[in-house]
Structure 1
Amino acid sequence: MTEHTLNWMYDAPFIQHWHIDDTHIDHYKHVNNVAYLSQLEKLAWAHSNALGLQFADYQSLNRGMVIKRHELNYHLPAHLGDTLECATWIVQCDKRLTLTRQFQFICPERSKTVFDALTTFVCVSLDTGVPKRMPAQFIDAYHSACITTGDIAKP
């Protein structure tokens, strides 16, 4: 099954495959909550890198996008041996301080969404942690990748 046949929330997802191994499993024998958060971070960084922003750019600009809020929705358990299709989109970017990413993880074997999340990021100075306007490089990368301009649709 390809990403074109999966029921994505939005068109043109940025996708990575996540194979579930022993390190991701908790005592309930399904993927641990912390593993999902770790995968969100990896996916967001991979997407930022694909948009042309590396952590070295953040450092040279003395800016970073830090998490203000996570909204996590666990729909179905994922288990050892599953491979999930993990997607992200930038669904809001105000070109000043904030951007919002939508995430969706689908189990292709079941053709079901097992997890989705909405994360709001705030631009800060890396030196002080104080909110600061996005530099032009962030606006160029993130706003140009933003898929919506209005309200964020809820799944």
Structure 2
Amino acid sequence: MPSQTGLGGGSPIREDREKLVPAQFKVWSNNVRGLNTPEKRSQLLRQLWAEKVSVALLQETHFRGQASPKLENSRFPLGYYANHPEAKKTGVAILFSRTVPFQLLDTMTEPDGRFLFLKGTIAHHTYTFACIYSPNRRQHTFLSKILRKLEKFREHADISRGP
């Protein structure tokens, strides 16, 4: 199960044709090439806020096991992580802005921290978020396997990213 952190926070939403949707919903994906220094984590969080990112899908975080450094602040209070259990390699994370009222329903990860699937609701709509970091070799085999897992896991609208 992925680790989760959260600080809480408000979630402004607007009424749009009889259904609630997040205002200005923006998904951002990036291979961050390691986030083990406080400066790099702080710079990333500032960049996400400046670009008005709602959901950040991050690959190659390089966190180890359950000992993820703090990658959250009052603007991005909720994060889910899949990390390699023993080494500072691979790893993915999905961060939610305080403007996104995300409610987690289910998760799926891979033991080596190569993918993270989240299923949850935002303003009464169900979404599946997939953050994937594929290996350099045998990518086709890896992606075929992962996409089959995602097909079984997913529900409603998918948001998938990865290099």
TM-score by length of 2: 0.28
Of structures 1 and 2, the one scoring higher in RCO (CA 8 A, sep 6+) is: 1
Larger Rg: 1
TM-score by length of 1: 0.29
By percentage of residues, which structure has more helix?
1
